[in-house]
Every structure is written in structure tokens, then in C-alpha cells.
Structure 1
Amino acid sequence: MNIPVRKQVMWWGVSALLLLLVMWLLGQAVLPFILGAGVAYLLDPVADRLERAGLSRTMAVVVISVAAVLLFAAVMLLIVPILIRQAAALIETAPQMIEQARGFVTARFPELLPKDGTLGTALTDLGKAMGEQWSNVAQTLMTSLGGVISTLALLVIVPVVAFYLLLDWDRMVAQIDRLLPREHAPTLRRLASDIDAALSGFVRGQGLVILILGTWYALALMLVGLPFGFFIGIMAAMLSFIPYVGVLIGGATAIGVALFSFWGDPLWIGAVVAIFGLGQVVEGNYLQPKIVGGHVGLHPVWLLLALSVFGALFGFVGLVAAVPLAASLGVLARFAIERYRESALYTGQGLPPAPSAPLLVEIAPRGTAATELRQARLAADRSLANAQLELMQDDLHRRPD
């Protein structure tokens, strides 16, 4: 007997609510495990490729782990200190650049920033506030990040969880597949495949795009001698996962710094503009179509909405899980729309009633029923005669001689 659809929806809804409740209550505790699972998911294709090359699963995971540790150490020792130093210097210099921009606009376009006007006062106050409070902001930011991701979780728990999950990833997927409800297993496999295609296509593809753009922006801006060029290039590349946001913010920052540093030398200002223009052309015409592709299905507005909603509900855990949840919800929404278009609610045509159970009729030769009835009566008479004979024999044995 099949379980009614309403009851199935109720059970799945309760399960989803319990999962969200666990994320809300135990967010900080499960964060290292979520990050470890994400790392294992991203590296599983690499492990599969090494297995196809002839390595065992254990050896493939060991090779990946060693390479990841070396890469992490190189980033922490070579790149992170430069980023922190240039970010701090940019924040410290920002008030001077804002004041210079305000003076330039006031001298050339006095009607835009009248004396003692609201906008001019706001810019002046902003510059002073940034100059006085940049150290407090940086310290607060580092403190909050330290509270969200502890050093122990970042350096120990996440790599260990990722190592063991990557080692057993294929077995875990097979075990989960065995636990799927048999009635809905094909549909669930299809949805899981669509979610994997959307998520892996976006994360892995966009990660490669960010790596290429970051390398180009950072090295090119450093070569033209732009102060803070390495930090600005990395920041622009990191924000490029949202179309046009990275180039707008990074380009505006770079051009502003170039105007402040190269004032009176339009050649180098034009070089900075050309760097971002070339990066945008390559990204839009080659990187995005060839690497990410148009089949991912994560619209920028949908991604921003997911980051805002899940970040507000679950904090940093929500930000980490926003992209997988956005991909999952997008696939489920498309599946629901597909079912809606097949339903009577959309077509206006009701489904035909389910056919009743068929009536089985056995065709037998004439006289079969009478013969079986006669044989049954003979068997009953024979059983009765045997019972009476046994009673008579018992009576004879009981009589005295």
C-alpha cells in the first residue's frame, strides 16, 4: 500500500525544518564539518582522476592532502601578509584621496559641492572617520572572524574532516543512494544530479575564473606601479563571481588610486583603465562562456538573495551554505515548475480516475465444478466413516471379556 502524497510531503517538510533548526542552533559547532564537506566535495573529481591514472584511493587522497598543505602554507606565507599590509595602507591613505577628490570637484565643479553643503560635509566627515577609525575597524573585523572561525577549526578540524570524507566519499554516496525511498529514488537521483551540475559548475568554474582574473589584475597592476595594486586586483577578482560588481568596485578603486598617485601622467592612468577593460573583455567573451557556461542556472540576483537571507538567518554558517542551498533551491524550483506545467492546475484538464483492480475469471471444462464437489463429498464421507470406525474400535477395547 502506497503512502499518501500528503503524508510524504509532511514527513519531508518536517525533516527540512529539523535540518534548518540544527543549523540555527548548532551553526558554529557544525561549521568546521560543513567546510570540510565542502572541501571534500570540491576535491573529489581530482581524486577520481588520480584513481583513473592508476593510484589507489588512499594514495590519491594523500597526494591531494600534501599538495593542499603546501599550497596553503605558500598562500599564508607569501600572499596573505602582502594583502593585509596593502589593505591597511589603503585604508590609511583613503582619507587623503577622498579629500583630494573633494577639493578637485569643488575647484572644477563648485555647483556640485557648495560650501558647507551636505554632500561635501559628508565626504569630509567620511575621510576623517576613516583616518581615525581604520585601526579599530580592522581590529574588530579580525576579532569577529576569529570568533566565527577559530584557529583550531581552521587549521585542524577542517583538514581532518576533509581528509576522511574525501577518502570515503564514493562509499558514502553509494550508501546514501541505498537509503533513498525506493518509490522516489529515480526522481531524487535526477534532482541530485542537477544540483551537482549546477553547484560544481558554478563553484569550480567560477573559482577558476577568479584565479585567472586575480592573477591578471594583481600582476598587471603591480607592473604598472599602482600602489596597493596587488590587493585591489585580488579584491576585484574575488568580487567577480557577481557579474560587473568586481570590475566596477575594483576598477573604481584602482582608477581612484591611479588618479591620486599618477596625477598629471595620463599614460599610466590609461594603463590602469586598459587593464580592467581587457580583463572584462576576456572574462565576458571567453572565461565565463567557456569555463562556467550558461547551463549553471545560478542567476546573480538569486545568489545575492540567498547570501542575504541565509546570512541574516544563520550568520557566517549561512554565508558558507548559501551557494549550495541556492543551487539546491533553484533546481527544486525548476522541478516544481515542471510538475506544475504537467498538472491539471495548469492545463485545466483533470487526470482520468485510476483504473479499478481487474476481476480474474478462470475458464474450466464443463462439469469441473460438479466433479470437484462430488470428490469433496466422498472425501468428507470417507473421513466420517473412518472416525466412526475408530470409535467402534475404541468401544470394543474398553468392553470387559
Structure 2
Amino acid sequence: MALPVREQAKYWGIATAVFLLALWYLGDVMLPFIVGGAIAYGLDPLADRLERMGASRVVATTVISLVAIFVFILMAVLIIPMIVSQAAGLFESAPDLFARLRDFLSERFPDLGDANSTLRQSLSSIGATIQERGGAFAQSVFSSALGVINAVVFIVVVPVVAFYMLLDWDNLVAKIDTLLPRDHAPQIRRIAGEIDKTLASFVRGQLTVCSILGVFYAVGLMLVGLQFGLVVGFIAGLISFIPYVGAVIGGVLAVGLALFQFWGEPAMIGAVAAVFVAGQFLEGNVLTPKLVGESVGLHPVWLMFALSVFGTLFGFVGMLVAVPVAASLGVVARFGTEQYRSSLLYKGLDRDEEPEGDT
């Protein structure tokens, strides 16, 4: 006999509280294990595909791990230093860019020539502020991410955790299945399957889309000859999981830089804008339909809310678990809505079930 609903709610509430408390107090310790688990989850479909092709799980995991290490080393040696260098250069050149913007606006709006003009003073201070704060901000971002725990331990533990979790992923899922409450196991499996489908379609698919778009924007802008094209493309690709936001922010930043660099060359400015137009066409007609599909994803507002809340409460670790938690809550909310719509509270009393005396 199943437990009463009140008892079930109590135990599930305790489990949720334990999870949040562990995230609050042990977030720094859990970080490498969360990252390793996320990597293993993302690579599990690839390991399954290699198994279907005839490789053993050990061979599939080893091959994937070696390729991942090679890609990481390549990025650490070639790509990341270029991004950091261009970002630093962009911050350093900010005062000059804003000074040129001030001069351009002064020609069009003579009132800005007044030294006491509020807008003139604002434009003069924005560039200096970005130069002063920008480098410190970028440095704080990297230090907050890597300073949570010792960087050496993080770099060593994450690959080990990812390797062993990827190797034993199917066994872990099977063992967790044996611990499910027997009365509710079918419904829990159904909800877990929908959560996995949502994460697979949104997280895996969107990460792939963001990576491809980031490379496309960066390479396209660099081929056009735009200064800081790599860092602009990286930024645009990084936030492309929010529809249109990545293209708008990256496009405005790229076109703004192009106006200063290619002033008087409308063809070059148009080429920079064309890179983002082509990226949006590629995303909307090829990447998203093929990689994300038509399955239910996460609403951008809900995603940003989850990132803000978990980031504020639990820091960097909270931002890592925000997306899977948001996806899980979304699936549970849809399940609860289905249950509500099939209940008497929603349907009311059928005419056929009305008492005979009520006429």
C-alpha cells in the first residue's frame, strides 16, 4: 500500500532540503564532481554509439577521453590565450573608441562641445571606466571560477571523475532504478525520461549550436578583418542559447567596432553585418532544426530566472546545476498540470454522474 500523499510530500521535501543544504555547504567540494558528471552525461550518447559499432565500453571511454584531452590541450594552448589577449586589447582600446564616438557625435550635435554637457562627461568617463574595471572584471570571473578550489586539484579530479562515470554510466542508472519506490517507479521513470529528453535536446543540442555559431562568428569576423573578431564571436556564441540575444548583442558590438575601424567603407561594414545575418540563417534553418529538434525546451525567461537565482544563492556551482534543475522542474510542472487536468478539481462532476434527484 502506497504512503499517503502528505507522507510522500514530507519525504520528498526532506530530500530536496538535503540537496539544497549540500549545495550550500559543500558546493566548493562538489564542483569537480558536478562538472565531471555533466561531462560524462554529455558524452554518454557518443559512447553508446561506439558500443553499437562494436567497441567495448572501456575502449569507447578511452577513445573519447583521449580525444577530449587533445581538444582541451589545443584550446588551452591556442584558442584561450587569443581570446584573453583580444579581450584585454578591447578593454585597453575602450577609451579611444569612446573618444572617437564623442568626436563623431560632437560633429553631428554641436551642443556636446560644451565641456559641462552631461552627455559629454558621460562619454568621456565610460571608456576610462571600462579600461579600469574591465580587466579587473575579466580577471575576477576567471578567479571566481578557478579559485573555488585549488586549480590543480580541479584539473586532475574532473577528468578522472568524468572517465569513471562515463565508464559506469549505464550501471549507475541501473542501480538507481533499483532504488526507486516500487509503487511510483513507472511514473518516476517516465518523468526521468522526459527530463533526459529535455536536457538532451536543449543542453546537448544548444551547446553544440552555441559552439558552432561561436566558431562561425569568430572565423567570419576574423576573415573580414575585424579587430577583436575572435572575442566578439566567442561572446555571441556563448549567449546564443537565448534566442536572438546572442546575435543582437554580438551584432551590435561587431557593427559598432566596424564603424570605427572601417568608417567610410560601407562594404566592409556590410560584410560584418552579413556574418551575423548568415549566422542567424544557419541557426534557424539548419542547426536548431537538426540538433535541437521540435522537442520541448526551456523558455528563455525561465532559464535566465533559474541562472540568476541559483547563481545568487549558490555561486558558480549553482549556475552549473541551474539548467538541469530548471529542466527538471519544468517537466515536473507539466506532469502536475496533466494530473490536474485529469482530476475532478479541473473537470468537475460529469452530467452522467449527477445524482438522479438533481433535475
TM-score (normalizing by structure 1): 0.84
* 2:46 maps to 1:46: yes
Distance in 1 between residues matched to 2:198 and 2:153, nearest whole Å: 28
CA contact (8 A) 2:311 2:317 kept: yes
Please tell me whether the aligned partners of residues 145 and 316 of structure 2 are also in contact (alpha carbons under 8 angstroms). no
Partner of 2:325: 325
The aligned runs of 1:166-185 (5 Å cut-off) are 166-185=166-185
CA distance in 2, matches of 1:213, 1:38: 22
Q: 1:96 to 1:149 in 2, by over 3 A?
A: farther
- Whole-angstrom CA distance in 2 between matches of 1:191 and 1:264: 58
The Cα of 1:149 is off from its aligned counterpart by 5.0
Match of 1:268 in 2: 268
Q: Is 1:31 matched with 2:31? A: yes
| Unaligned residue ranges in structure 1 (runs of 5+) | 351-401
Deviation at 1:61, TM superposition (A): 0.7
Secondary structure in 1 matching 2:239: helix
Letter in 1 for 2:92: E
CA distance in 2, matches of 1:288, 1:48: 23
DSSP 3-state at the match of 1:304: helix
For structure 2, which runs of at least 5 residues remain unmatched after alignment? Answer: 351-359
Q: Aligned equivalents of 1:113 and 1:256: distance in 2?
A: 22
Matched residue, 2:356: none
Displacement, 1:136? 3.3
Q: Secondary structure at the match of 2:183?
A: coil
Tell me if the contact between 2:214 and 2:233 (Cα under 8 Å) persists in the aligned partners: yes
Distance 1:2 1:305 in 2: 35
The 1-side partners of 2:116 and 2:344 are apart by: 66
Alpha-carbon deviation of 1:146? 2.7
- Structure ranking higher on relative contact order (CA contacts 8 Å, 6+ apart): 2
**268-277 or 130-139, which moves further after superposition?**
130-139
Shift of residue 326, structure 1, vs aligned partner: 0.8
> 1:108-163 CA distances to partner (integer Å, 9 max, x unpaired)?
13468975333332221111222334443344333323312531243111110111
Residues 173-322 of structure 1 correspond to what in structure 2 (within 5 A)? 173-322=173-322
Q: Distance in 2 between matches of 1:153 and 1:318?
A: 20
In 1, the alpha carbon distance for the partners of 2:280 and 2:150 equals: 36
Residues 325 and 111 of structure 1: is their aligned pair in 2 closer, same or farther, counting only changes over 3 Å? farther
CA distance in 2, matches of 1:176, 1:275: 47
- Is this contact kept in 1: 2:111–2:117, CA < 8 A? no
Match of 2:98 in 1: 98
How many Å separate the matches in 2 of 1:196 and 1:245? Answer: 26
Separation of aligned partners in 2, 1:107 and 1:271: 26
What SS does the aligned partner of 1:163 have? helix
**Which protein is bigger by CA-based radius of gyration?**
1
Q: Distance in 2 between matches of 1:142 and 1:11?
A: 39
Determine if contact 2:24/2:314 at 8 Å carries over to the other structure: yes
One-letter identity of the residue aligned with 1:328: S
Give distance in 2, aligned partners of 1:153 and 1:190. Answer: 37
Which residue pairs with 1:162 in the alignment? 162
1:10 corresponding residue in structure 2? 10
Structure-1 separation of matches of 2:271 and 2:50? 42
- Aligned residue for 1:121? 121
Matched residues, number: 352
CA distance in 2, matches of 1:255, 1:5: 58
Deviations 1:228-253 (A, max 9, x none): 11111121111111111111111111
Check the 8 A contact 2:306/2:322 in 1, yes or no: yes
* CA shift digits 1:69-119 (9 cap, x unpaired): 111111111111111111100111112112211221222134689753333
Give deviations 1:275-317, integer Å, cap 9, x for gaps.
1111112212222222212313211111101101111111111
1:310 and 1:127 mapped to 2: Cα distance?
Answer: 32
Which residue number corresponds to residue 396 of structure 1?
none
What percent identity do the matched residue pairs reach? Answer: 54
Could you tell me how far apart the structure 1 residues matched to 2:320 and 2:66 are?
Answer: 25
Deviation at 1:220, TM superposition (A): 1.1
Flag the 1:5–1:136 CA change in 2: closer, same or farther, 3 A.
closer
Q: Alignment RMSD, CA only?
A: 1.9
What residue number does 1:372 align with? none
What is the CA–CA distance in structure 2 between the aligned matches of 1:217 and 1:157, rounded to whole Å?
A: 33
Residue number in structure 2 paired with 1:368:
none
Structure 2 match to 1:85: 85
Q: How does 1:351-390 map to 2 (within 5 A)?
A: none
Q: Is the 8 A contact 1:199 1:296 kept in 2?
A: no
